[in-house]
Each structure stands twice: as structure tokens, then as C-alpha cells.
């Protein structure tokens, strides 16, 4: 069981790097680029760039989501060969701090996964395949961009919950969880705010 948990944790982290790495690429690099391109430039660049990037993006999200569910089941819902909440998840006093942290991470991660598969990817697929009428193009792009930007902001608190569950839950309650989540939101906001200004010269 320890070997299986290690493998799932490793796979979960690798898939998460692929997913969140592409999310940050889209929001910190590609958004400023797209804003600088005219329609002719977008037609030249996007068909070569976006399908490959979106493939890694969406499947990174799916594998992160699935391995996360399996890992949660093994760590928090299994003990001594039986299935059910264990002492890491709850005690006689109720939900543990560790469980609260991981559940926050899982909730935000699930919202992000939903946005990828049911908002961002369908919109981008329609745009790249030329299925969107010209009069609807701005609205479809805006919907995908809003979901992607929401995911970028959610990624900060999501990672706080995921990492904090195993490293900061001892003696750290709801107040610490909210404080670290707020700091993570500020860090993401600063990255977005400066994304159009950094890296413009060698």
C-alpha cells in the first residue's frame, strides 16, 4: 500500500505540474501575446500552438483529478484493510485540520477540472475548428478566458490546501488556512498584474 501511495503521489504531482504549468503559460505568457496579435497573426500562430498546448493542458487536468481521487481514498478512506474514514480524516471531535485543508484543495481542484473540461476546452475546440460565427467569437473567447483566469486565481489556494494538508495541519486551524489562502491569492494576482511587463527584453 505504501508503494502504491508513493506511485500515485508521484503521478499526481507530475500530472499537476503539466496542468498548472500550462495554465500559467496561458495566463502569464499567452494572454499578453494574444493581445499583441491581430486576427491574421492569431490565424498564423494559434493553429500550430494551441492544439498541442491544450492537449497537454486538459489531459494533465484529467490525470491530476483522477490520481488525486485515488490518493485521497487510500490516505483518508482506508485503514487496516478496510474502507471508511480513518483517523487522518476524522476523530471523535470531528473533522481533522488535515482533512479540512485537503478538502479545500480538492474542492478548488474539482472546480478547476470542471472549468477545463466543460468550459475552456469546448470553447477552444470550437474556436480552433472554425465553428464559431464571427459575431459570437468575442463572447466565446471571453467565456474561455474568464474560466481560465478563475482557475489561475483558484490555483493558489488549491495548492495551499494540497500542500498544507501534509505539512501544516498540525495545530493549524481554519484561521491559518484562510490566511495562507489569502497570501496565495495575492501572489497569483501579482503574477498576473506583472505578466504583461516582464520578459519583454533579453
Which range among 14-23, 26-35, 137-146, 163-172 shows the weakest confidence by mean pLDDT? 163-172
- To 5 degrees, how large is the angle CA 88–CA 15–CA 65? 55
Give the global pTM.
0.91
Whole-number pLDDT of residue 1:
76
Is the pLDDT confidence value at 142 over 80? yes
Mean pLDDT across the chain, nearest whole number? Answer: 92
Whole-number pLDDT of residue 169:
53
Most confident range, picked from 12-26, 123-137, 154-168: 12-26
Is the pLDDT confidence value at 147 over 80? yes
Whole-number pLDDT of residue 166:
79
Contact 153, 146 (CB under 8 A): no
d(CA 161, CA 140): 31
Whole-number pLDDT of residue 83:
94
What is the domain partition of the chain in residue ranges?
A: 2-194
> What per-residue string of b and e applies to 104-122 under the rule 16 or more CB within 10 Å gives b?
bbbebbeebbebbeebbbe
Nearest to 116 by CA among 192, 71, 68, 55: 55
Whole-number pLDDT of residue 18:
98
Q: What is the pLDDT of residues 52-108, one digit of tens each?
A: 999 999 999 999 999 999 999 999 999 988 999 999 999 999 999 889 899 999 999
Whole-number pLDDT of residue 81:
85
Q: Which residue has the higher pLDDT, 117 or 196?
A: 117
d(CA 75, CA 12): 14
Amino acid at each position: 500500500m505504501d508503494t502504491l501511495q508513493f506511485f500515485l503521489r508521484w503521478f499526481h504531482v507530475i500530472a499537476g505540474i503539466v496542468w498548472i504549468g500550462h495554465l500559467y503559460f496561458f495566463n502569464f505568457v499567452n494572454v499578453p501575446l494574444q493581445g499583441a496579435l491581430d486576427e491574421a497573426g492569431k490565424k498564423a500562430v494559434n493553429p500550430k500552438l494551441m492544439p498541442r498546448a491544450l492537449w497537454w493542458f486538459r489531459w494533465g487536468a484529467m490525470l491530476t483529478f483522477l490520481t488525486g481521487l485515488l490518493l485521497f481514498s487510500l490516505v483518508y478512506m482506508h485503514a487496516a484493510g478496510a474502507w471508511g474514514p480513518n483517523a487522518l480524516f476524522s476523530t471523535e471531535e470531528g473533522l481533522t485540520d488535515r482533512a479540512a485543508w485537503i478538502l479545500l484543495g480538492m474542492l478548488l481542484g474539482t472546480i478547476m477540472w470542471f472549468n477545463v473540461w466543460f468550459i475552456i476546452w469546448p470553447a477552444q475546440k470550437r474556436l480552433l475548428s472554425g465553428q464559431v460565427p464571427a459575431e459570437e467569437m468575442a463572447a466565446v473567447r471571453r467565456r474561455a478566458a474568464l474560466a481560465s483566469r478563475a482557475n489561475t486565481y483558484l490555483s493558489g489556494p488549491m495548492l495551499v490546501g494540497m500542500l498544507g494538508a501534509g505539512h501544516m495541519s498540525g495545530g493549524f486551524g481554519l484561521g491559518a488556512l484562510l490566511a495562507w489562502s489569502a497570501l496565495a491569492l495575492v501572489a497569483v494576482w501579482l503574477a498576473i498584474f506583472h505578466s504583461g511587463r516582464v520578459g519583454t527584453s533579453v
